[in-house]
Amino acid sequence: MTADLNNPAVEQFLSSETYRNAMIQVRMSGAFDSPGSGKQQNGRPDDILITDTTQFGFVVVSVYYRAVRNQEDGQAEPGSERKVAQLPGFTHKPEFAVRPDVRWLIVFALLEAAILTGVIFFSGAKKSKAELEFEEKTLRMHFGLIDGEQNTREAPPIDTLVQVLRRFHAFAIDLQRRRAGKPAFEIRDEYDVQDLLYALLKLHFMDVQREEPSPSFAGASSRIDFLLRELDLAIEVKMIRESLTARELGQELITDVARYFEHPKCKCLVFFIYDPQRGLANAAGLRRDVMGQDSRVEVIFSPAE
């Protein structure tokens, strides 16, 4: 834009506090007075330069008041020896200049160079295979959708299930230690064990089915306590009670092995035996006998034998 009063930067400069204060000082110093006026006695008045930046700091505006001699000064009227009335000898004519601030030009150039360097670096940098696999895993876990295909959260390892079952008794003991005289959470029977275990399994597994019906076997059918579909694994819960002998428990487990593997989603079977009073005499022998029936069977005791 042209450096005149039509330029918003010039208009802003003329209304700024810096310009007003500078003009007050100039007038008080008599710089605008012509020679012979009392303040300027001899010679030519000084030129005046006032400079300031705009409020955003990107543009520098200057006004240069150049002292110019009046052409009419000292001229006589034609046919008369009398001169016209004495006019001021000089007039200060303003000349505006608008230019970008060099400091901001340097900052802008450095910023543009940094952005360009970052774009070139990140566009050229190739991600490692490990980084790509991690990003894909994160997308699947948190959004369940990648590349337009529905994906389920990656199944936790079987070690997670083993730890949950083995530490179940420690969890049950902590439930009995209540504060402020609150009644303890007591486990009285097998149903209490199932309810607590279901809540724990939901913390680690996405799809936990309770009391999944098993196909009929030898004219009878039953329900699987828990079915983890993402692992193709079934869990059967047993709680040791005084009326249940080791022999009876072993027969129940062996019968369940044949029955539950008829289910299409049961590829592995875990028997969870909760024995808080450690009333089972030969837990190791029972475990060996049951697991000997099928390699896909695991028996876990809590507390651990």
Same domain, 114 and 217: no
Q: What pLDDT sits at residue 88?
A: 55
Angle between helices 158-166 and 168-175 (to 10 degrees): 50
Task: With respect to residue 1, please indicate whether it lies within any of the assigned structural domains.
Answer: no
Same domain, 115 and 138: yes
Task: With respect to residue 91, please indicate whether it lies within any of the assigned structural domains.
Answer: yes
Closest C-alpha among 259, 188, 268 to residue 235: 268
Closest C-alpha among 258, 256, 247, 234 to residue 286: 247
Same domain, 15 and 69: yes
Q: What pLDDT sits at residue 201?
A: 93
Q: What pLDDT sits at residue 175?
A: 87
Q: Are 169 and 303 in contact (CB under 8 A)?
A: yes
Task: With respect to residue 95, please indicate whether it lies within any of the assigned structural domains.
Answer: yes
Residue stretches of the chain with pLDDT short of 70: 1, 31-44, 53-57, 71-88, 123-127, 134, 138-156, 215-221
Task: With respect to residue 177, please indicate whether it lies within any of the assigned structural domains.
Answer: yes
Question: Count of domains in the chain?
Answer: 3
- Domain with 122, as residue range(s), is 106-150
Note if the pTM is more than 0.85: no
Q: What pLDDT sits at residue 24?
A: 79
Same domain, 135 and 247: no
Q: Tokens 């079977």: give the residue.
A: 269
- 304 in helix, strand or coil? coil
Q: Tokens 């940094």: give the residue.
A: 114
DSSP string, 24-57: HHHHHHTTTPPBTSSSB-SSPPPPEEEEEE-TTS
Same domain, 190 and 253: yes
Task: With respect to residue 36, please indicate whether it lies within any of the assigned structural domains.
Answer: yes
- 213 DSSP β-pair partners: 223
Neighbours of 119 (CB within 10 A): 10
H-state helical runs in the chain: 8-14, 17-29, 102-124, 129-143, 158-166, 168-175, 190-204, 246-260, 283-291
Q: What pLDDT sits at residue 221?
A: 61
The alpha-carbon radius of gyration of the chain (Å, integer) is 47
Q: For every residue of 183-221, which 3-state class applies, written as one string?
A: CCCCCCCHHHHHHHHHHHHHHHCCCEEEEEECCCECCEC
Out of 68, 83, 100, a domain closes at: 100
Task: With respect to residue 3, please indicate whether it lies within any of the assigned structural domains.
Answer: no
